[in-house]
Every structure is written in C-alpha cells, then in structure tokens.
Structure 1
Amino acid sequence: MAKSRVGILISGRGSNMASLVEASRAPDSGYDVVLVASDKHEAPGLAWAAEQGVPTFAMSPRGIPKPEYEAAIDAALRDAGVEAIALAGYMRLLSDDFVAKWRGRILNIHPSLLPKYKGLDTHARAIAAGDAMAGCSVHVVTEELDGGEVLGQAQVPILPGDTAETLGARVIVEEHKLYPRMLDQWLSMRR
C-alpha cells in the first residue's frame, strides 16, 4: 500500500517535525514526509530537514498580503504532492480559506489537554489554575483556534515548584511520542 505524502509546517527548531520524520522511516510507517515548509528562512528545523534529505521550502510573510503568502505555501505543498499537513510549531494562524482548501487534511499538536487552554502560554495557565495534570493534544485543524476533533492526548503531572519551562520540557517529550503515533493512525483510517 502506498504511503501517505505528508507536508510539515514549522516556524522554529522543529523538534516535533524531527520526531515525525524519524517515525516515518520505520518499516511499518504509513507516511513519508515529502516537504518541510517554514515562514522563517532561518528556522533551525529547515537545516535539520535538509540534512536528512527532506525537501524544504521557506518564505517570509513580511510585506506580503496573507492571501498571496498562503497561496505560495499552498502551491509548494501541492507541487510536492502533499496529501496531508502536519503543523509542528507553526506559529502563524492559518486563514479560514486555507483551512477550507485542506479541510480534514491538517493535524496539529497543541501543548495542553484540549479543550483547556487554547492558544498560547498553556503551561503557565495550567500551573496558575492549580491543575494537577497538563499534557498535549493532537487535533484536526478547523477554522476554530485549537477547536477541531481531538484524536489523542498524553498527560503529564504538574509537580510542586514547576515553572512553565520545566513543565514544557516534560510535555514536549510526550508530544514527540504522541504526534507520530496519532498521525500514522489518522492517516491509516483515511486510506
């Protein structure tokens, strides 16, 4: 059976992207990463992907109207034959039009136990609320910020004295395990 062709969007170091690429190399993986794209030419994750032989694309949105910028990203994804998109630390909000073009074919990893703490500063918010547990969620991307169907979650206890940084360091370890598994399962259900 042919593997699904995945494009990954990043903005920074790309640690979740790297975990997805590495998982794609397992003999039983159902996907190949065919493009890593970024809104930042200097994103460290792009250099890592290129070193791994994964094609890359970078374009800064500065000074470009959002529809034109997203059209260029869309064209790069389609030119690479991408069938599904994984957001991995991509820090730009996608327009409703872009999401509609790829409806049901975009996943995201979010550093909270959705529906709690949509948006930013999730770890600090969980600590401030006195939560016993934090974690991460893989969800389908919709027009609603962090509002699509949750496919899987991993929990991490909030320890006494935790800061956003210490909690985040433990959560990202779980993200790197959860995201490849959920992406592979989700794609296998779609085949």
Structure 2
Amino acid sequence: MAKPTIAVFASGTGSNYQAIFEAIENKTLICDLALLVTDQPSAKVIKKAEGNNTPYAACNLNDYTSKNTFESAILEQLRIHKVDWIILAGYMRLIGPTLLQAYEGKIINIHPSLLPAFPGLDAIGQAFQAGVKVTGVTIHYVDEGMDTGKIIAQEAVKISENINEQQLQEKIQLIEHELYPKTIQQVITSLTD
C-alpha cells in the first residue's frame, strides 16, 4: 500500500518542519514528505528544506492578484507532488476556501496554547501576559476560522513562576516536536487503513 504523502506549510524557522522530517527519517512517522510550502520567500525553513532535499514552493501573496489565485498556485504544486495531507507548522496565514475545499478534512495545524484559549498570533506571549499557570499545545483540524477546528490532541505545559517567555517557548516547542509527528501518524493512518 502506498504511503500517504504530506506537504508541510511553514512561514518561519521551520522547527516543526524539521521535527516532522526527522520523524520520517527515523520511521516513527510513516509517510512521504513531498513538499514544503512557504509564503515567505526569505523564510529560514527554506534552508532546512534544501539541506534535507525536500522540494519547496515559495509563494508570496503579493505576487498574486488575489488570495484565490495565490492558493490556486499552491494547489497546482500540491497536485504536481500528489499531496494527500496538508500539515501546517508555523504557517502564519489563514487557509482560504480554495485549499479548504480541495483538502477538506485533510489539513492539520499545531498551535502553542490549549485552545480555545489564546488563538491567533503570539499565543505564548498572550498566555505569559495573562499570567496563567498552565498553557500547552493543541493539534487540530483546520476550518475557515482562526484556530477553531476540531481538536485532535492537546498537551498541557505548566508555567512555573521563575520562567521567562523565551524559556516557555522552548518548553512548548519540545512538546510540539514530539506530539506533532506522533499525532500526524495517528491521523493519517486511521484514515488510510
């Protein structure tokens, strides 16, 4: 049976992309990483993709007449690479109708909070400023809202009194890098069996 094929979407440094790549390499995540998609042509994740020989598509929204034409260009790349699943890993754009319809129920996102708390940008900063004692990581399906899709997995992270925001981010990323590949594996195999 053919392995499911994924595309990872990222806008920044690509630490979750790298964790997914390594999980595939050490066979704890059984799929093919066919494509990295980024909306930031200067994103650091591109260097990681090049180093790992992952094909990538850098699509800048400003080069397109609309979000629809931007997503259509991405969709064309996904079809060329025969992508089954879209995995968002620090992708800082809302997914629009073009991709949502083409990949209904097959787009997963990771978010650094216990949703529904602290959706959107800078969730770690939001949690830190709010003074909460616990935050965490959420993996969820993507719908048309911002971090509103059905939750697949969550893991809590305690915020100790002497921790700073940078340390909290590092703590959360450690959980993300373990939880995300494991959850992706569960989701893509449960629907392909």
Asked whether the two chains share a fold, i.e. TM above 0.5, the reply is: yes
What whole-Å deviation, never above 9, does each CA across 1:63-90 have from its counterpart, x for those lacking one? Answer: 4221111110111111100000000111
Q: Which residue in 2 is equivalent to 1:40? A: 40
What whole-Å deviation, never above 9, does each CA across 1:34-83 have from its counterpart, x for those lacking one? Answer: 10011112111112112111111112111422111111011111110000
TM-score (norm 1): 0.94
Paired positions, count: 191
**In the alignment, is the contact (CA less than 8 A) between 1:9 and 1:87 conserved in 2?**
yes
TM-score (norm 2): 0.93
Q: Which residue in 2 is equivalent to 1:182? A: 183
Write the letter of the residue equivalent to 2:22.
Answer: E
Measure, in 2, the Cα distance between the counterparts of 1:163 and 1:28.
32
Matches within 5 A, 1:15-34: 15-34=15-34
Q: Which residue in 2 is equivalent to 1:2? A: 2
**In the alignment, is the contact (CA less than 8 A) between 2:28 and 2:182 conserved in 1?**
no
SS in 1 for 2:154: strand
Write the letter of the residue equivalent to 1:58.
Answer: A
Q: Which residue in 2 is equivalent to 1:61? A: 61
Q: Which residue in 2 is equivalent to 1:112? A: 113
- Runs of at least 5 residues in structure 1 that lack an aligned partner in the other structure: none
Measure, in 2, the Cα distance between the counterparts of 1:126 and 1:53.
36
CA drift at 1:136: 0.6
What whole-Å deviation, never above 9, does each CA across 1:149-177 have from its counterpart, x for those lacking one? Answer: 11111211111143332211210111111
Measure, in 1, the Cα distance between the counterparts of 2:91 and 2:131.
28
Bigger shift: residues 35-44 or 21-30: 21-30
Which runs of structure 1 show a deviation greater than 4 angstroms over 4 or more consecutive aligned residues? none
**In the alignment, is the contact (CA less than 8 A) between 1:30 and 1:187 conserved in 2?**
no
SS in 1 for 2:26: coil
Percent of aligned pairs sharing the same letter: 34
SS in 1 for 2:62: coil
- Runs of at least 5 residues in structure 2 that lack an aligned partner in the other structure: none
Measure, in 2, the Cα distance between the counterparts of 1:28 and 1:86.
16
SS in 2 for 1:139: strand
| 1:49 lines up with 2:73 in the alignment | no
Measure, in 2, the Cα distance between the counterparts of 1:44 and 1:130.
31
Q: Which residue in 2 is equivalent to 1:132? A: 133
Write the letter of the residue equivalent to 1:43.
Answer: A
Q: Which residue in 1 is equivalent to 2:89? A: 88
